[in-house]
Structure 1
């Protein structure tokens, strides 16, 4: 696609950064001022998806009314007859997934990132919105090691004023989807993000993905919920407070799953590891 030919979009592509929900994301530089860069998400529009894309924009823009350091900033939207462009903050450090794809992240650095993820989710939920697709690929890392949540293509409102709306099933990335999403029951929004955040933490500290689907057909999942995982490496080498956090967050019992506020108060989140060492990839 020749972006230089898009009327009203004063950017030209530098390189592709990745794929978002139903679209591609490009690093672009301003045509007249190349030192000004932005991440531009390009979404092809049809009649069915137009409303969904506009809802994504409005939800993301709502979150950006107050700048939060752990939410990717959305500047503006450009529309043509066949595409919609989200012009966003350029984050220069890649994704959390890229931080550990060849090497697990040690607990001190994992805690550093997880605290920021929890802070971002607390803000999102406070705005009555649930993300529904938390995973390492949707967590951007700046060169200063700040974490920013991105890709709100699956986000939706779960609260209108004081009224909480129960959500349907089947949205998100399979490896990070909570088990209640595989039932026919409606479910609460915030616990879905808590589960996904917990699986993300589990993934980055171990370097392992224990299951594809959180259902009883997955042996890795069954072993986890029945407690048969923790006497094996690398789990038996981890701090007890970290294991406790993982067990309380990645639990199929929704009514016992820790809330964001409870996570903030837990022992592992308050533990002082000292200065964070940069994670080295192999």
Structure 2
């Protein structure tokens, strides 16, 4: 089914005890954040399962998040890739914004590591390849994710990795005259040194750093940079002060050390 990414009005009704938004029947809640919740839903015309991100307009306006939401939507419209969560359409009512997304059943990659521990190198390599394919594609469309971490990587039923949550993504129009991005965002443990240092950064290189941290986590089962004190953490990240566990192969060590180079100029 060809999906459309147009914005349309949504009316929600609850006929027969089931709440409907447009042609979608809402089901259980899959996740909940401060401004949005994600619900499982079924397209009543095609029977297709989807996930609907329901955003509270009032909360979004109150916290001046409208720019971020619009950015997420325009990013998702630009991106069509097998390793990126697909957006089917966007609807809105007076109080809510509904983003209809592809539903994947394999959960977060993060949960997989949390429950099973570290992955074998060939499995980690497979996921890393999916991640790099997705990130490479996004960069070719001028989209930088800026919050890559295992919690934002979902798996489908066939074990295919899908990048999600483009809420912090940057589009080309956010790049300043110096060709760099200037907003500090992301999750501290996964953030590149140049992002922390607030001097402007290349979004593609900063995303690549996060990919390096993710590869380390997949293979080690823990973070390369972890400190309770944020300043100590930032110092470690700035110096790329980490060591690889003994079970990493020499090629994996070499790759991770090349990616987690604190100077963005030398990362190729």
Q: Same fold (TM over 0.5)?
A: yes
In the TM superposition, what is the alpha-carbon distance from 1:8 to its structure 2 partner?
4.8
Residue among 240, 243, 256 paired with 2:253: 243
User: Gaps spanning 5+ residues in structure 1: where?
Assistant: 259-282
Residue among 3, 24, 29 paired with 1:11: 24
Check the 8 A contact 1:24/1:41 in 2, yes or no.
Answer: yes
Instruction: For 2:238 and 2:147, locate their aligned partners in 1 and report how far apart those are by CA, in whole Å.
Output: 24
In the TM superposition, what is the alpha-carbon distance from 1:24 to its structure 2 partner?
2.0
Instruction: For 2:213 and 2:138, locate their aligned partners in 1 and report how far apart those are by CA, in whole Å.
Output: 19
Check the 8 A contact 2:213/2:224 in 1, yes or no.
Answer: no
User: Gaps spanning 5+ residues in structure 2: where?
Assistant: 1-11
1:58-95 per-residue CA deviation (whole Å, 9 max, x = no partner) reads 1111113xxx1111110100101221111011111111
1:1-282 mapped onto 2 (5 Å cutoff): 4-5=13-14, 8-19=21-32, 22-31=35-44, 35-46=47-58, 47=61, 48-64=64-80, 68-102=81-115, 103-158=117-172, 165-212=179-226, 217-218=232-233, 221=236, 225-226=240-241, 229-230=243-244, 235-258=245-268
Check the 8 A contact 1:179/1:215 in 2, yes or no.
Answer: no
1:7-45 per-residue CA deviation (whole Å, 9 max, x = no partner) reads 753323332222468422221123466x42101111112
Distance 1:149 1:164, change over 3 A: farther
Q: Which secondary structure does the structure 2 equivalent of 1:242 belong to?
A: helix
In the TM superposition, what is the alpha-carbon distance from 1:165 to its structure 2 partner?
3.3
Distance 1:80 1:223, change over 3 A: closer
TM-score scaled to structure 1, two decimals?
0.78
Q: Which secondary structure does the structure 2 equivalent of 1:133 belong to?
A: coil
TM-score scaled to structure 2, two decimals?
0.82
Check the 8 A contact 2:193/2:234 in 1, yes or no.
Answer: no
RMSD: 2.9
Distance 1:19 1:7, change over 3 A: closer
Q: Which secondary structure does the structure 2 equivalent of 1:54 belong to?
A: helix
Q: Which secondary structure does the structure 2 equivalent of 1:29 belong to?
A: strand
Distance 1:150 1:23, change over 3 A: same
Greater mean deviation of Cα atoms: 214-223 or 93-102: 214-223
Greater mean deviation of Cα atoms: 111-120 or 201-210: 201-210
Distance 1:97 1:160, change over 3 A: closer
Distance 1:107 1:7, change over 3 A: closer
